């Protein structure tokens, strides 16, 4: 994407953008079991908005045994599996005509593997995020579909403002804390309201003056949003935001585009080599 006008806000998704994508864990898992890639994401997306995954990401239900049982059940719907497989057959006639048995998955194991993978900073985007924040020239914000871990969970500190990743953001909109998730149009409006409020509250600072001035607030077209999911990007465009797609395993491509937009050198020194599936490491129960 290109635009003559410099944006005021760089708005990031977190999982799959600033940290390693949990979708990589899903792909690895599917390949390890010989499942056509895309089944798990298809299953999750087709349960919206009342599926257990979606309700967890809006903070409607706690992360407990009932969630894991429900999430696992959502992954084992026979009618949904048949619809998915027929769609795959239409794209790939080489697939067997007879629909194979519904894959037996371990939803709880997969969930924990996804969360563990997403703890690691993305080797291309995270250095760019830090460089962007250090420049002081942009409002750096996050709009992320999140979950709330139980207080005793080892990852629960991600909900605190002193988290090393979260400290990079001036504004952080967390789905599980606001009761909405992408691609709900309301959460994009909320994000715009939050960054606009930040801009006006800090309009008299030296940082704002150096950035070109924030006294007039933030308009939708002054926001650049990065995400790895197409429907989230389409919703952002509908909200008036400019968008950058972050390809799975190739976030460096999005960094290059962000450099063109900001005029800043943001890339770190990590080699620009695509991440390939690593299904040999998967040791899930089936």
- 16 and 103 inside one domain: no
Overall domain count for the chain? 2
Neighbours of 187 (CB within 10 A): 24
Residue 285 confidence (pLDDT) above 70: no
% residues pLDDT > 90 (the chain): 82
Check residue 2 and give its pLDDT: 44
- 16 and 102 inside one domain: no
Q: Is residue 276 part of a domain?
A: no
Among 127, 76, 125, smallest CA distance to 101 is for 76
155 vs 11, residue with greater confidence: 11
H and E: helices and strands count for the chain: 12, 5
Residue 238 confidence (pLDDT) above 70: yes
Check residue 61 and give its pLDDT: 98
| Whether 9 contacts 139, CB under 8 Å | yes
43 vs 156, residue with greater confidence: 43
Q: Is residue 271 part of a domain?
A: no
163-199 pLDDT per residue, tens: 789 999 999 999 999 999 999 999 999 999 999 999 9
Query: What global pTM score does this model have?
Result: 0.91
Residue 283 confidence (pLDDT) above 50: no
Q: Is residue 110 part of a domain?
A: yes
Q: Is residue 284 part of a domain?
A: no
Q: Is residue 143 part of a domain?
A: yes
- 137 and 253 inside one domain: yes
- 220 and 101 inside one domain: no
Which CATH number does the domain housing residue 215 bear? 3.40.50.1000
- 148 and 112 inside one domain: no
% residues pLDDT > 70 (the chain): 93
Provide the domain limits for residue 66: 22-117
154 vs 77, residue with greater confidence: 77
Check residue 102 and give its pLDDT: 94
- 80-94, 148-162, 272-286: the lowest-pLDDT one: 272-286
């Amino acid at each position: 994407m290109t635009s003559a006008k410099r944006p005021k806000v760089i708005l990031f998704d977190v999982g799959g953008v600033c940290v390693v994508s949990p979708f990589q864990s899903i792909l690895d898992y599917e390949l390890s079991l010989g499942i056509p890639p895309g089944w798990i994401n298809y299953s999750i997306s087709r349960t919206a908005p009342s599926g257990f995954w979606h309700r967890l990401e809006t903070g409607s239900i706690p992360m407990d045994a009932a969630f894991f049982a429900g999430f696992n059940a959502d992954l084992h719907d026979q009618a949904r599996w048949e619809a998915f497989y027929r769609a795959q057959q239409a794209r790939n006639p080489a697939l067997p005509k007879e629909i194979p048995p519904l894959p037996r998955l371990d939803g709880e194991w997969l969930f924990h593997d996804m969360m563990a993978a997403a703890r690691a900073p993305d080797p291309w985007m995270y250095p760019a995020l830090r460089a962007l924040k250090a420049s002081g020239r942009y409002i750096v914000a996050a709009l992320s579909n999140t979950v709330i871990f139980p207080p005793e969970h080892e990852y629960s500190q991600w909900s605190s403002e002193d988290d090393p990743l979260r400290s990079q953001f001036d504004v952080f909109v967390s789905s599980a804390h606001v009761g909405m998730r992408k691609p709900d149009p309301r959460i994009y409006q909320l994000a715009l309201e939050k960054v606009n409020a930040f801009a006006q509250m800090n309009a008299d600072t030296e940082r704002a003056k150096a950035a070109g001035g924030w006294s007039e607030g933030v308009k939708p077209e002054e926001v650049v949003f990065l995400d790895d999911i197409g429907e989230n990007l389409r919703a952002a465009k509908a909200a008036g935001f400019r968008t950058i797609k972050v390809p799975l395993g190739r976030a460096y491509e999005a960094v290059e585009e962000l450099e063109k937009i900001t005029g800043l050198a943001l890339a770190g020194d990590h080699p620009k080599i695509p991440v390939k599936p690593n299904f040999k490491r998967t040791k899930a129960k089936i």
